């Protein structure tokens, strides 16, 4: 942000905070621990951050990482795929949605493919 | 022998023409071989000095202003101390020798505040107590050479007592401020009348500048960042941190002029293409304000692991306006640790950083397909990767050159309509395998 102005006046300048969320990998097995990265720029210092895990197509809330502040995501916030008893049905791809400071929304992340089925082997 | 009398009268050129006391006078009889006369005397309280019992003749009267008197009076048209006049004085005659001095002026300069809403930081009230308040400590000069005292507690500056008064005329008034964040509202020349002791009032107001950072909702920004405030003509810069408790506002008492304010920020880190290829240059770009080119670096990471040690760090090569960028040529050797098939970068400078999105990065693989007869074999293939991604390719002329995501392993190759045949596969590092196609 760069502003030029003369004395005895108040000069407004704009900044546009932004945020983005991502999985640490493209594919994981059920039971594996993965990481969630959430980045924000030009926000206030260490705001609250709510990350939701959603089923893809159609996007539908599935799980969440709540009560964690932004700084906790800086080196990746660990998340264990422990979905026994959760109704994932036929969905195998899961995306992240995030909201920082209750107002700033991230674009939907690239999906994480989760192997939720028993592996099949041919003899 | 008949006698005569000489009277000297020194008056001030003012309304009631008062006499001036204590001016030394001297009377000399001229026309002879030498000038002689009675002892001189100063004017009395009425401004007169009488010399009775003189011989008839021509008399020269000299009147000399003392050093003290010269501070407040002057003979018209000259700065000399002495004035003289000669007259014939006849028998029994009492002759008056009048002298008129010009009173010099000692105007006073008064400096007071003008309360403005901006300066007060609150609404101005009727009869605001700040309005008209005396401003002490202002240096005052008339023209370039006439020094006044600094304004005192009542805001008044005046000529020093031992300084000569002013002759009538227009005088430019120069005010100098310490501190320098004041502005003279009504700078002007003042007309000085003969003998004036008027008080000329000048108004100053404090100068300030404010920068208010707003977010996209036009609300006060609550972030924190270092800043650079550049004073007019770049004479001075102030750096510091705009802390979140300031709610995006920086206000300073400053001298008048144009100011530049920049937050030291990096934002909008972007690739200039949707994907990168090994050995093909791609540009990394970030919006940068308040930073110097040499401060800006780009760290390259695996797209899925943007922490820890960077795979490669490059310095920004250009800063055009607020846009910093560098062209980067990905090298397989430096990106050997990439396992996600994507890369992202973090632009950094001082405490600022901005993270780009992850983009796919690919490397060209050459897959040769031959039949059992060792001749080139054309087949449509689907390459399967460990994370489930697939790529469709065709081995035209027995060779396929797919762009394969960097770091991803080919775990399966599906061939279309080739059941019952045998094919051998090799890439640039050697044979892959030979398969019986079922």
User: pLDDT (tens digit, 9 = 90+) per residue, B139-184?
Assistant: 999 988 899 999 999 999 999 888 899 999 999 999 988 777 888 8
Q: For residue B357, what pLDDT is reported?
A: 92
A37 interfacial to chain B (CB closer than 8 Å)? yes
**B387 vs A113: CB contact, 8 Å cut-off?**
yes
Mean pLDDT of chain B, nearest integer:
88
Mean pLDDT of chain A, nearest integer:
88
**A8 vs B212: CB contact, 8 Å cut-off?**
no
Q: What is the largest CA-CA distance in chain A?
A: 83
**Closest chain A C-alpha to B265 CA, distance in angstroms:** 7
Q: Is residue A123 part of a domain?
A: no
**Closest chain B C-alpha to A40 CA, distance in angstroms:** 8
> Do B131 and B191 reside in the same domain of the chain?
yes
> Do B388 and B356 reside in the same domain of the chain?
no
Picking from B103, B129, B164, the residue at the C-terminal end of a domain is: B103
Q: Which residue of B has its CA nearest to A25?
A: B304
Candidates B223, B304, B388; nearest CB to A42: B223
> Do B350 and B405 reside in the same domain of the chain?
no
Peptide bond into A58 cis (omega under 30): yes
Whether the pLDDT of residue B79 is over 70: the answer is yes
Residue A118 burial class via C-beta count within 10 angstroms: exposed 0-12, middle 13-18, buried 19 and up: exposed
Structural domain range at position A87: 18-112
Q: Is residue A6 part of a domain?
A: no
Beta strands B3-12 and B48-55: pairing type?
antiparallel
Q: Is residue A45 part of a domain?
A: yes
Q: Are B88 and B29 in contact (CB under 8 A)?
A: no
> Do B92 and B168 reside in the same domain of the chain?
no
Q: For residue B438, what pLDDT is reported?
A: 46
Q: Are B6 and B27 in contact (CB under 8 A)?
A: yes
> Do B201 and B224 reside in the same domain of the chain?
no
Whether the pLDDT of residue B319 is over 50: the answer is yes
For the record, the structure tokens of B358 come out as 């992850």
Share of chain B above pLDDT 90, in %: 61
Number of other residues whose CB lies within 10 A of the CB of residue B342 = 26
Tokens 């009727």, residue located: B126
> Do B196 and B222 reside in the same domain of the chain?
no
A105: chain B residues, CB-CB within 8 Å: none
Q: Which CATH number is B131's domain given?
A: 2.60.40.1120
Q: Is residue A63 part of a domain?
A: yes
pLDDT band at A25 (very low <50, low <70, confident <90, very high): confident
Q: For residue B273, what pLDDT is reported?
A: 96
What's the number of domains chain B is made of?
Answer: 5
Q: Is residue A8 part of a domain?
A: no
A33 interfacial to chain B (CB closer than 8 Å)? no
**A8 vs B221: CB contact, 8 Å cut-off?**
no
Distance of CA A22 to the CA centre of its chain: 5
How many CB contacts within 8 angstroms connect chain A with chain B? 143
Whether the pLDDT of residue B326 is over 90: the answer is yes
Report DSSP state, residue B72: H
Interface subset of A 3-22, CB within 8 angstroms of B: 3-18, 20, 22
pLDDT tens digits, one per residue of B356-377: 999 999 998 888 887 777 788 8
Q: For residue B376, what pLDDT is reported?
A: 83
Top pLDDT among B432 and B21 is at B21
Q: For residue B2, what pLDDT is reported?
A: 80
Q: Is residue A11 part of a domain?
A: no
> Do B178 and B142 reside in the same domain of the chain?
yes
**B265 vs A15: CB contact, 8 Å cut-off?**
yes
Whether the pLDDT of residue B92 is over 70: the answer is yes
Structural domain range at position B372: 365-436
Q: Which CATH number is A83's domain given?
A: 2.60.40
Q: Which CATH number is B335's domain given?
A: 2.60.40.1930
Instruction: Tell me what ipTM this predicted complex has.
Output: 0.87
Question: B407 — phi, psi (to 5°)?
Answer: 90, -10
Q: Which residue of A has its CA nearest to B216?
A: A16
Q: Are A97 and A106 in contact (CB under 8 A)?
A: yes
Q: Is residue A13 part of a domain?
A: no
Q: Please give the Cα distance from B248 to B322 (Å, whole number).
A: 20
Candidates A5, A26, A35; nearest CB to B259: A5
**Closest chain B C-alpha to A25 CA, distance in angstroms:** 6
pLDDT band at B424 (very low <50, low <70, confident <90, very high): low
Ramachandran quadrant class, B333 (left: phi over 0; alpha: psi -120 to 50; beta: rest) = alpha
Q: Is residue A85 part of a domain?
A: yes
Picking from B103, B129, B158, the residue at the C-terminal end of a domain is: B103
A13: chain B residues, CB-CB within 8 Å: 211-214, 261, 263
What's the number of domains chain A is made of?
Answer: 1
A7: chain B residues, CB-CB within 8 Å: 183, 207-209, 254-259
**B259 vs A76: CB contact, 8 Å cut-off?**
no
Whether the pLDDT of residue A45 is over 90: the answer is no
DSSP string, B246-309: GTTEEEEE--SSEEEEEE-EEEEEEESSS-EETTS-EEEEEEEES--GGG-EEEEEETTB--SS
Picking from B49, B69, B103, the residue at the C-terminal end of a domain is: B103
Q: Which residue of A has its CA nearest to B263?
A: A1
**Closest chain A C-alpha to B168 CA, distance in angstroms:** 37
């Amino acid at each position: 942000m760069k502003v030029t102005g003369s004395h005895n006046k108040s000069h407004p300048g704009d900044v546009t905070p932004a945020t983005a969320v991502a999985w640490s990998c493209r594919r994981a097995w059920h039971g594996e621990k993965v990481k969630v990265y959430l980045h924000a720029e030009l926000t206030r210092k260490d705001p609250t951050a709510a990350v939701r895990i959603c089923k893809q197509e159609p996007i539908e809330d599935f799980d969440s990482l709540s009560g964690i502040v932004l700084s906790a995501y800086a080196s990746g916030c660990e998340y264990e795929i422990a979905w026994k008893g959760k109704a994932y049905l036929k969905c195998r791809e899961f995306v992240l949605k995030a909201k920082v400071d209750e107002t700033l929304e991230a674009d939907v992340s690239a999906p994480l493919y989760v192997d939720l089925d028993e592996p099949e082997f041919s003899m | 022998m008949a006698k005569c009398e000489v009277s000297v009268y020194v008056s001030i050129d003012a309304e009631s023409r008062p006499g001036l006391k204590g001016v030394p006078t001297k009377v000399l009889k001229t026309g002879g071989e030498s000038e002689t006369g009675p002892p001189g005397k100063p004017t009395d309280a009425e401004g007169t000095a009488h010399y009775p019992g003189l011989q008839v003749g021509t008399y020269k009267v000299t009147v000399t202003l003392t050093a003290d008197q010269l501070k407040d009076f002057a003979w018209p048209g000259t700065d000399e101390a002495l004035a003289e006049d000669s007259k014939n004085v006849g028998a029994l005659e009492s002759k008056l020798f009048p002298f008129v001095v010009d009173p010099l002026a000692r105007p006073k300069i008064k400096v007071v505040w003008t309360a403005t809403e901006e300066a007060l930081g609150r609404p101005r009230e009727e009869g605001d107590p700040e309005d008209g308040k005396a401003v002490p400590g202002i240096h005052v000069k008339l023209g370039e050479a006439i020094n006044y005292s600094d304004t005192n507690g009542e805001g008044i500056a005046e000529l020093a007592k031992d300084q000569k008064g002013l002759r009538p005329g227009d005088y430019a008034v120069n005010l100098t401020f310490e501190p320098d964040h004041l502005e003279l509202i009504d700078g002007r020349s003042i007309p000085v009348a003969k003998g004036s002791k008027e008080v000329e009032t000048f108004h100053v107001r404090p100068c300030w500048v404010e920068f208010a950072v707003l977010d996209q909702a036009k609300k006060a920004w609550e972030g924190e960042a270092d800043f650079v405030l550049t004073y007019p003509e770049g004479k001075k810069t102030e750096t510091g941190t705009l802390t979140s408790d300031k709610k995006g506002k920086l206000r300073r008492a400053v001298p008048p002029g144009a100011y530049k304010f920049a937050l030291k920020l990096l934002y909008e880190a972007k690739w200039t293409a949707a994907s990168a290829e090994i050995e093909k240059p791609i540009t990394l770009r970030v919006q940068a304000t308040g930073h110097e080119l040499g401060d800006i670096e780009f760290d390259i990471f695996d797209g899925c692991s943007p922490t820890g040690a960077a795979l490669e760090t490059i310095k920004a090569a250009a800063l055009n306006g607020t846009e910093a960028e560098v062209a980067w040529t990905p090298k397989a050797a430096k990106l050997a640790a990439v396992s996600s098939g994507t890369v992202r970068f973090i632009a950094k400078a001082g405490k600022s950083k901005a993270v780009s999105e992850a983009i796919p990065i690919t490397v060209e693989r050459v897959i040769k397909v031959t039949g059992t007869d060792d001749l080139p074999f054309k087949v449509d293939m689907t390459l399967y990767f460990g994370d489930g991604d697939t790529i469709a390719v065709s081995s035209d002329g027995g060779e396929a050159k797919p762009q394969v995501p960097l770091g991803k392993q080919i775990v399966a190759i599906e061939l279309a309509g080739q059941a019952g045949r045998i094919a051998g596969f090799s890439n640039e590092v050697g044979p892959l395998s030979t398969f019986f196609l079922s």
